[in-house]
Amino acid sequence: MPKFFALIPAAGSGSRIGEDLPKQYLHLAGKPMIHHAIGTLCSDGRIAHVIVVLSPDDSHWSQHDWSEFSSKLILLNCGGATRAESVLNGLSALETSIAIADDDWVMVHDAARPCLTSVQLEKLLDELTNDEIGGLLAIPVADTLKRSNTNQRATTTEPREGLWQAQTPQMFRYRLLTNALSSADGINVTDDASAIEALGLHPKLVLSDSNNFKVTYPQDLALAELILQKRKIP
Ligand code: CTP
Ligand code: MG
């Protein structure tokens, strides 16, 4: 039976949020942001290990206590210059550090999506376990879409039918994802699914909801804090 692994790329600096601390360490609901994603992934009974990919010069991880996750957590200090590079470096390092098979599943999840729920995670696993290719959590685009000219004036309204916003986790088999990211050099790969699509394959879109958003701009912090605090109340 194929095993399940989660991999969290956490080697970014959070430039758009504009804080001194890399955003994965900003405090949300009393914990560093990345703690929330690690907690949700580690608490899933099907996931064997959760791999965190840090920047080689990370000086923040060791300032926190991660012992509650020690049975599942694997730490790698091999992050790269882009998200895709961090994921690929992590996947490559796994080949020599743990027993991972070509057809084992890897769920790649952004450290910057702290509001992922166990329900969303289980839905992804349930819908993809027997899938040929794999897929990702996503939501249909809700807003009306405008195309602008260079003066920031709307020229046309784009049809939103068939358009989705990609989220994470994104779940693919170990060898397929490693090969896809290795051969995606030069393509603008902002998520794992785009490397799979570049091979001509069609990842499945698993319906999620907007609470699993990516904390990107300063104003996103307050919403994430609100969602996480609300969940703490029984
Ligand atoms: N990431 C990574 N290695 C990089 C860049 C990003 O592991 N070289 C990770 C981030 O830490 C984050 C995820 O990829 O968990 C999604 O990236 P993003 O939200 O863009 O985070 P940052 O790149 O840190 O933020 P920004 O783009 O605003 O600088
Ligand atoms: Mg980035």
> What pLDDT score was predicted for residue 230?
94
Model confidence pLDDT, tens digit, residues 7-33: 999 999 999 999 999 999 999 999 999
Instruction: Tell me the CA–centroid distance for residue 29 and ligand 2, in Å.
Output: 23
Which ligand 1 atom sits nearest the alpha carbon of residue 87?
7
Please check whether residue 110 is in contact with residue 8, taking contact to mean a CB–CB distance below 8 angstroms. Answer: yes
For 161-204, write each residue's pLDDT tens digit.
999 999 999 999 999 999 999 998 767 899 999 999 999 999 99
pLDDT tens digits, 64-109: 999 999 999 999 999 999 999 999 999 999 998 888 999 999 999 9
From residue 119, alpha-carbon distances to 25, 192, 215, 231 in Å are 25, 22, 20, 13
- Does the structure show a pLDDT above 90 at 233? no
Looking at all shown ligands, the one closest to residue 216's CA atom is 1
Which of 35, 53, 163, 36 shows the shortest CA–CA distance to 106? 53
Q: Which ligand is nearest the CA of 78, by number?
A: 1
d(CA 70, CA 30): 20
| Cα(10) to centroid(ligand 2), Å | 10
| Ligand 1 proximal residues by C-beta, below 6 Å | 9-16, 23-24, 53, 79-83, 86, 110-112, 214, 216
Residue 104: CATH number of its domain:
3.90.550.10
**Bond from prior residue into 169 cis (ω within 30 degrees of 0):** yes
State the total domains in the chain.
Answer: 1
Domain of 79 in residue numbering reads as 4-232
- In sequence order, which residues have a C-beta less than 8 Å from that of residue 163 and are 6 or more positions away? 140, 141, 145
Ligand 1 centre to CA of 20 (Å) is 15
Q: Which amino acid is at 225?
A: E
Question: Residue holding tokens 């840090």?
Answer: 54
Pocket probe for ligand 1: among 41, 55, 83, the residue whose CB has the most ligand atoms within 8 Å is 83
- Work out the angle at residue 63's Cα, subtended by the Cα atoms of residues 21 and 54, and round it to the nearest 5 degrees: 65
Instruction: Please state the separation of Cα 225 from the chain's center in Å.
Output: 19
Locate the ligand 1 atom nearest the alpha carbon of residue 81 and give its number. Answer: 8
Cα distances (angstroms) measured from residue 161 to each of 101, 139, 183, 190, 201: 38, 12, 30, 22, 21
Higher pLDDT, 121 or 186: 121
What is the Å distance from ligand 2's center to 14 Cα? 7
For residue 21, the ligand closest to its alpha carbon is 1
Distance 1 CA to ligand 2 centre (A): 35
